[in-house]
Amino acid sequence: MSLDPALRSRIETLLQSNRVVLFMKGAPNAPQCGFSAKAAGALNALLPQGYAHVDVLADADLREGIKVYGEWPTIPQLYVDGQLVGGSDIVEQMAASGELHGLLGLPAPDRSPPRLSITPAAAKMLRDAVANAGEGYAVQLEVDPRYNVRLQLAPVDAAAIAVEVDGVRVQTDWMHARRADGVSIDWADDERGRGLVIVNPNAPPAVQPLTPAQARERVAAGSLRLVDVRPAEERALAQAGVAFDTFDAGTATLEALPKDTALAFLCHHGGRSAQAAEHFRQLGFSEVYNVVGGIDAWADIEPGIAKY
């Protein structure tokens, strides 16, 4: 199959203008297939400041054209310095070996095992689970970019980064090892529920409650940005008498703020704002608040605000 000259020119211009280009399904923060997610995950860890990407789902011509251009039949495809590196499996293999780091001019990955703490009760539960799975299994540890920890059973991988704690082999890879450093694993059968309790000290601090009075004082002092998550028609019924941001034009501008920006979220009663606050916490913002009671509670300190 020949490639249309105009399409070839588009591809070559894109590759010449960007050192690293990933042709994928979806976007790095919202991949639309598992293979694209794996390739983007490796690049996200290596290039947190970003890289060029193309969503082939949005351009059918480019989706087929890049396959012809690189003589590679599948998506995703990674190009570095105008040269095809490969698809998802190759990207993952090169990242694990450190070869991709070298290609991108980055230091070799830190393959030292993470420091883990497992209580005796949790260790017993995990040993029993591994024994029930049969010979040749271990506990696989994964920590996503938002520092959520996942444990599952997986076949022993001799090439993995592994640590043994109280007879439990826990294995992971270079991407997850540093995010897992210091993780503690306990087994609970109390008011916390019944099951494993995992604490990751690397995760952003939890969302904190803030009273309307505290929020008003800090906004006035310039040490806090208030975000009213309600739509415009609802804000027209009642709104705080201080400066605030909204989601009217989307969340991208706020998400691009420095991660140490103090943010407080406000809605009608506190439910929607709690969800918004958690979203920003998981993006890595280190000081996130939810205004307790919402605009209804704010009306108690500003009598001119109507309750609805």
Q: What positions carry a catalytic annotation?
A: 267
Reduce the secondary structure of 56-116 to three states and give it as a string: HHHCHHHHHHHHHHHCCCCCCEEEECCEEEECHHHHHHHHHHCHHHHHCCCCCCCCCCCCC
- Of 130, 5, 106, whose CA–CA distance to 65 is shortest? 5
Peptide bond into 201 cis (omega under 30): no
Give residue 124's identity as a one-letter amino acid code. K
Quick one: the chain helix, strand, coil %, rounded to 5?
Answer: 35, 25, 40
CA distance 185 to 39: 29
Q: Which residues contact 285 (CB under 8 A, 6 or more apart)?
A: 204, 257, 259, 260, 261, 263
Q: What are phi and psi of 65, to 5 degrees?
A: -65, -35
